[in-house]
Amino acid sequence: MATTASVDSDFIHRLAREARKAALRLAVATTAERNAVLEVLAGLLASESSSILEANHRDLEAGRSAGLSEPLLERLTLTPERLHRIGAGVKEVAALPDPLGAELHSHTRPDGLEIRKVRVPIGVIAIIYESRPNVTIDCAALCLKAGNAAILRGGKEAFHTNTALAALVSKALAENNLPETAAQLVPTTDREALHHLLKLDDLIDCVIPRGGEGLIRMVAETSTIPVIKHYKGICCLYLDHAADPEMAEAIVVNAKTQRPSVCNAAEQLLVHRGAAAALLPRIGRALATAGVELRADEEAAAILTQAGVPCRPAAPDDFRTEFLDLVLAVRLVGSLTEGIQAINTDGSHHSDAIVTSDEAAARTFLAGVDSAAVYWNASTRFTDGYEFGMGAEIGISTDKLHARGPMGLPELCSYKYHVLGHGQIRT
Amino acid sequence: MATTASVDSDFIHRLAREARKAALRLAVATTAERNAVLEVLAGLLASESSSILEANHRDLEAGRSAGLSEPLLERLTLTPERLHRIGAGVKEVAALPDPLGAELHSHTRPDGLEIRKVRVPIGVIAIIYESRPNVTIDCAALCLKAGNAAILRGGKEAFHTNTALAALVSKALAENNLPETAAQLVPTTDREALHHLLKLDDLIDCVIPRGGEGLIRMVAETSTIPVIKHYKGICCLYLDHAADPEMAEAIVVNAKTQRPSVCNAAEQLLVHRGAAAALLPRIGRALATAGVELRADEEAAAILTQAGVPCRPAAPDDFRTEFLDLVLAVRLVGSLTEGIQAINTDGSHHSDAIVTSDEAAARTFLAGVDSAAVYWNASTRFTDGYEFGMGAEIGISTDKLHARGPMGLPELCSYKYHVLGHGQIRT
């Protein structure tokens, strides 16, 4: 629960200036140089594991004294096995293709001027996160791979662990003759220092908050630096009148129960009124068997009850709630249009699915639902960097600017234009 | 100078809700539907020109009574010819290719799941601008072409003109059976209403301020909605030791004098110390002949003075100033590295150029200068949507997220993932 008392706004400003300087150096580092940092880091995570675990032990002791809840202590805990997995993740990032330098577009103007749009790092990225210490390494590795300097501001519960982990990143940078300030942990968890950091828009290019909605909202409201947000996932499943019952059951059960605590799990089931009598009893039964509590609107409840499936009446808020638990809100809608409207109004623009064998209905749904990922006949659980083939992700954006949905390495990049001439002037 | 007294925060909220509803409709409008709106709008700008000019006359009268400066009155003025040009611009936007629907990427996972990244509108875009009434039409046309609903909040000086122009956009929408609320002028220029608008992050997806630095900073500081900023252009020219003197002269004179009042005009000249004696006298003379005031550091001043070229001593601030006038700051640097560092520190990350026949130096400059557009042997004046082949631009972003440099139609779009399966679930 430590913070360093000597950290003032000048210190934060200096830290950000160092990050900016380091970013300019990193921007011209080669692929091999950046990968070497990650390889060395993975090695250090193994060779220095005891000091990391010791620092983690201090955080856990402090956390227990402070009366942290068991789930919070669990999130905070590093084990040799978890540390090993973190190191393996760093190696995976090293093995990913370099996103930098790619020519995204190029053309030659009639006067011979060549305009080339090339991918470059964003620059300085601040990651604001809570109690999971693995974020320190995961985010630093992704930022460095994409040529960005990282400013890491973790939660106070993990302060000692984060300090030890960040020191390894700096060591891996220094061993490769790159500025160790290319990854810096803010050495305080003081709120005021964070507020100061979030105003340094001339030095920091992007802020990514990773944590609960309260943290994200605070960052979005305070920051004058562009923020990439990933709010909650109220994912909806819509069963069309032409849904195949077996497929519908498999998708609903998977999307709700395979891992209920994550943002791409389903929270809401909408069923076309004309198909409810055929679909709801079997799907309700399967869900009940899987331990899911159903909160149903009046019409859905009537069908479920008649079929002997337990349910309770839904409150209006249940249709705007991210349960992250074995709970599902269920309602009937009169049409595809009504279903799309309900999802756009009450969902969270994250991931939503239609189950139907009617292609026209599917196309209307894909076009009409305003979400990062819209599914036809598949589970929403696939919204994920690995599943989308990106290799690793830094988060899942619910914003529409810059990045939407899973954010991999290319989404941690910007671009610039190289304009090559032979003396062209504008007339 | 009118504002409507009855506008309160509920009104603003309702306006944004209407915009969001309209955006969902626009997102599924066809190319032909969106283009038809623009064609009708161009026709209305011609057929209803007298009522627009009359509204403009009211603004100009009020402006004169309020003692507005002549340049401000000039910016505010519409003439039949200017109105004609605005209409021609709308037709040009209609003729541009549709940015929507393009498949940006697609791949099939081993289990047969198809993941398609497709370009879609951003949604609701708020444009906050100052006194030029053409922005109302230019921005509405670009937003609608890209399927976005626009909320337009112009300056108080142009209130009547903007009201009349926005009414034409709504009329063009209604005539094509699209919601007239897809483009709405905020019917007040009250600061409090603007502040309220900038907090509606659940209804508005993006804010683009168009105007001076004060306006942009206020919007960035107030808004909880993502903002795309285009700050000033302190464009720098670096003359390498291997610069061709004739080419260097042509580029410097063009970048400084061809249109000094715009953001891609050069404000600063850096000359390699080893080339200064050969380059500065002839370039200084050419600039002086073109009426440019040179503000030189001590070394540059010595060379210029000896060559009989008039100059005055530069103040330190001159190297961080956007003059937007026939003034150029001049200094010598000891190396390419020093030049790049000076540009990254004192420039504005907009557009910067190197003149050199040394390809290695050029590559180092292109990679090392952290700006939206980096030029080799060409004038910075080409940073512009038309010159970059985009057709039309809504501004030139100095941000690094989402869009950097000129923003055309694709930059007014987001993307989403269509995920097509045949029953895939996650295991």
Judge whether B205 is closer than 8 Å to chain A, CB to CB.
yes
| Confidence (pTM) | 0.94
Tell me whether A310 touches chain B (CB under 8 Å). Answer: no
Enter the tokens of residue B29: 């409008």
How many angstroms separate the CA atoms of A394 and A353, rounded? Answer: 23
Interface mutation vs chain B, best among A382, A384, A393, A412, most B CBs within 10 Å: A382
Kindly list the averaged pLDDT for each block of 10 residues, start to end, along chain B of length 427.
64 97 97 98 98 98 95 93 96 96 94 97 97 93 98 96 98 98 96 96 96 91 93 94 97 97 96 97 98 98 98 97 96 98 96 98 98 98 91 91 96 98 96
> Who among A109, A344, A425 is closest to B250 (CB)?
A425
Instruction: Give the span between the Cα atoms of A327 and A404, in whole angstroms.
Output: 27
Identify all chain B residues contacting A389, using CB atoms and an 8 Å cutoff. Answer: 107, 109, 115
Contact A275, A252 (CB under 8 A): no
- Amino acid A193: pLDDT: 95
d(CA A236, CA A338): 13
A427 contacts in chain B (CB < 8 Å)? 258
Chain A residue with the nearest C-alpha to that of B264: A426
Contact across the interface for B405 and A417, Cβ inside 8 Å: yes
Q: Do B400 and A425 touch (CB under 8 A)?
A: no
The predicted structure's pLDDT at residue A8: 87
- B254 at the A interface (CB within 8 A)? yes
Distance from CA of B204 to the nearest CA of A (A): 10
**Between A122, A247, A415, which is nearest B423 by CB?**
A247
Q: Hey, what are A427's tokens?
A: 């007339």
CB contact under 8 Å between B113 and A378, yes or no, is yes
Low-confidence ranges of chain A (pLDDT < 50): 1-3, 5
pLDDT at A6: 62
The pLDDT value recorded for residue A2 is: 44
Which tokens hold the place of A416?
A: 């610039």
Nearest to A426 among B228, B258, B401 (CB): B258
Answer whether B426 sits within 8 Å of A377, measured CB to CB: no
Q: What is the DSSP string of A149-207?
A: EEEEE--GGGHHHHHHHHHHHHHHHHHTTS-GGGEEE-S---HHHHHHHTT-TTT--EE
Query: Nearest-CA neighbor of A283 among A328, A248, A254, A314?
Result: A248
How far is A38 from A90, CA to CA, in rounded Å?
6
B5, B141 Cβ separation under 8 angstroms: no
Is A109 in contact with B389 (CB distance < 8 Å)? yes
Contacts of B382 in chain A (CB under 8 A): 113, 419, 424, 426
Cβ-in-10-Å burial (0-12, 13-18, 19+) of B10 comes to exposed
Q: What is the DSSP string of B198-222?
A: TT-TTT--EEEEES-HHHHHHHHHH
Cβ–Cβ pairs < 8 A, chains A and B: 192
Contacts of residue A36, defined as CB under 8 A and 6 or more positions apart, other chains included, come to: A176
- B-facing residues of A in 26-85 (CB < 8 A) are 27-28
Determine whether the interchain pair B115/A389 forms a contact, defined as Cβ–Cβ distance below 8 Å. yes
Answer whether A367 sits within 8 Å of B28, measured CB to CB.
yes
Which string of b and e fits B101-122 if b means at least 16 CB within 10 Å? eeeeeeeebeeebbbbbbbbbb
- For residue A305, the tally of other CB atoms under 10 A from its CB is 13
Q: What is the pLDDT of residue B2?
A: 44
The predicted pLDDT at position A352 comes to 98
Cα–Cα dist B319/B352, whole Å:
14
A102 touches chain B (CB under 8 A): no
| Cβ contact B234:B268 at 8 Å | yes
Residues of A in contact with B147 (CB under 8 A): none
Task: For each of the domains in chain A, give its residue range(s) and CATH number, in order of start.
Answer: 9-230+407-419 (3.40.605.10), 235-382 (3.40.309.10)
What pLDDT was estimated at residue B7? 76
Position B3 scores a pLDDT of 47
Place of tokens 């100095």: B398
Here the tokens at position B233 are: 């252009």
- CA triplet B355, B357, B362: central angle to 5 degrees? 65
Could you tell me if A45 and A78 are in contact, meaning their C-beta atoms sit under 8 angstroms apart?
Answer: no
Whether residues B113 and A221 touch (CB distance < 8 A) is answered with no
Cβ of A290 under 8 Å from any chain B Cβ? no
Q: Does A134 contact chain B (CB < 8 Å)?
A: no
* Model pLDDT, residue B6: 62
The pLDDT of residue A125: 98
The reply to whether B203 touches chain A by the CB within 8 Å rule is: no
